[in-house]
Amino acid sequence: MMALSVMPAAEPAPNGRVGTGAGAGTIEGALVLAYRNNPQLNAQRSATRATDENVPTALAGYRPRVTGTSSLTEQYLDNLTKTGTTPGGAALYTQSQGAAAVSSFGLTTTQTLFNGFQTANRTRQAEGQVSSAREVLRTTEQNTLLNAATAYMNLLQTAAILELQRSNVNVLEVTLRQTRDRFTAGEVTRTDVAQAESRLAAGRSQLSLAESNYVTAQAQYQQVIGVPAPARLAPAAPVDRLSPRTLDGAIARGRTEHPLITTAMYNVDIAVQQVKVAEGALYPTLSAVGSVQKTYGSASALTVLETLSASLGAQLSVPIYQGGAEYSTIRQAKETLGQRRLDLDTARDQVQSTVTQAWGQLEAAKAQINATQAQVTAAEVALNGVREEARVGQRTTLDVLNAQQDLVNARVALVTAQRDRVVASYTVLAATGALSAQVLALKIEVYDPVTHYQQVRDVWGGVRTPDGR
């Protein structure tokens, strides 16, 4: 198992940073890899591109529909025709027989001239769906980046705790050897040896748990980031500078920029257009229909060699009563619109609650760091004092072991607080809707969904996607 080289937490890292390691992987690098490789994010990008196709589908309602037909028929004709009578009154007949191949080729064009503005409303609805899909993509990007930052910090935290537990086991082993030597010299009792052995066994148990947590964190890192964890991780700094300085400012920013709210707003627009589309079914439909047909041969006369026919007309269809289904559809669309408006209110309340909760966690993490730093300092002083007092017989071995455990617990608490501090700063940024590759200034080409939309919006035909599939 790979282990990270982490300094003991007696001297906390500056600016709330966790861990160390020159030339190690960085949190910025992890975010870049997650932005590029995360399968959930890439799947949502594909879903956004699929939604882009709704617009050309809607625009197809403005375009003519052309249908070509052809047929080939083998005909056999046997005609008996009365041509007159003889002077004696007998009838005269003419008989014609023969086989003919009749081929026909036709072209029919239909152009919708008016359909109750359904095409225009469907186009606006599709454009709203595209905008909504982009906001859903932005939500996925935020979640991916937040998960990547969390996975990075979890791995950094478990690596630091693993080193602390390993160092604690080493100290306890030395303490046990010293206690056994003192027992041999008659300075302590068998009880002191047993206490040292018990504490060493507990330390080894904590070390095994730390190793398990580290392996789990490595697996989570690879799942989110998409690549195996590097051998060493560099410290990570909070991103408070990118967030508003006050809670009110953070709430205001979240209520205007968070993708959950903007998605809900676009969904309201989509529902409005759906109502108009449903109402368009009550309007008359006017279409122009043109056709051209060329026929070679005839099924009725062998003397006809070819025929050309063409027509152009207008067709008006006025719905009078269709069974009531269209009225039900309109009522249903209106109820959905009311639901989407309530969803918008829910999204605003949810974002405000999330921002407030994240802000509280960040403030608590800041206070926790100050408290645990003081705890570590005090625990170090206490351990040194207890050791000196134990040398002159004023403290027992148990007192030394307890002081050592207090220091380890304080250092673990400090590492955890430092991790929480960084993760909370990313959480606040995500809660306000500003956690993105652009805001973090990641060194990567930012995915722009507008590019694909512009590539397919006005395409009249073709089955290949812009990337060649």
Q: What is the mean pLDDT of residues 415-427?
A: 95
C-alpha 160: how far from chain center: 31
Gap between the Cα atoms of 461 and 469, Å rounded: 15
Distance CA 3, CA 69 (A): 73
Residue 315 neighbours by CB under 8 Å, 6+ apart: 286, 287, 288, 289
65-85 vs 91-114, strand pairing mode: antiparallel
Give residue-wise pLDDT tens across range 186-220: 888 899 899 999 999 999 999 999 999 999 999 99
**Contact between 234 and 28 (Cβ < 8 Å):** no
Q: Which of 240, 146, 108 is nearest to 430 (CA)?
A: 146
**Helix residue spans in 392-431 (DSSP H):** 397-431
Q: Is-contact 175 400, C-beta < 8 A?
A: yes
Predicted local confidence at residue 204, as pLDDT: 94
Helix (H, G, I), strand (E, B) or coil at 173: helix
| In the predicted structure, residue 2 carries a pLDDT above the cut 70 | no
Residues 6+ apart with CB under 8 A from 351: 254, 255, 258, 260, 261, 431, 433
Q: d(Cα 122, Cα 49) in Å, to the nearest integer?
A: 18
Tens digit of each residue's pLDDT (9 = 90 or more) over 358-400: 999 999 999 999 999 999 999 999 999 998 888 877 888 888 8
- Using one digit for the tens of pLDDT, what is the confidence trace for 235-252? 999 999 999 999 999 999
Q: Is the pLDDT at 461 greater than 70, yes or no?
A: yes
76-108 tens-digit pLDDT = 766 677 777 777 767 776 766 666 677 889 999
> What is the reported pLDDT for 145?
96
- Angle (CA) 166-146-236 rounded to 5° is 45
Once rounded to an integer, what is the mean pLDDT over residues 150-174?
94
Position 302 scores a pLDDT of 61
Q: What are phi and psi of 312, to 5 degrees?
A: -145, 125
Instruction: Decide: 430 and 142 in contact? Cβ < 8 Å.
Output: yes
Encode burial over 281-309: b for 16+ CB neighbours within 10 A, e otherwise.
beeebbbeeebebebebbeeebeeeeeee
E strands, 219-277, where? none
Dihedrals φ, ψ of 153, to 5°? Answer: -70, -35
Per-residue pLDDT tens over the stretch 51-69: 999 999 999 999 999 999 9
- Mean residue pLDDT across the chain: 88
- DSSP structural state of residue 228: P
Of 158, 174, 152, which is closest to residue 207 (Cα–Cα)?
Answer: 158
Which residues make beta-bridge pairs with 287? 112, 315
The confidence score (pLDDT) of residue 468 equals 64
- pLDDT greater than 90 at residue 119: yes
Look at residue 21 in the predicted model and tell me its pLDDT: 36
Which of 7-16, 107-116, 150-159, 163-172 is predicted with the least confidence, judged by mean pLDDT? 7-16
Angle at which helices 259-280 and 325-391 cross, to 10°: 170
Distances from the Cα of 436 to the Cα of 33, 146, 239, angstroms: 14, 10, 12
Question: By percentage, how much of the chain surpasses pLDDT 70?
Answer: 90
| pLDDT tens digits for range 306-361 | 888 999 999 999 999 888 999 999 999 999 999 999 999 999 999 999 999 999 99
Q: 305 Cβ partners below 8 Å, 6+ apart? A: 296, 297, 298
For residue 94, the Cα-to-chain-centroid distance in whole angstroms is: 82
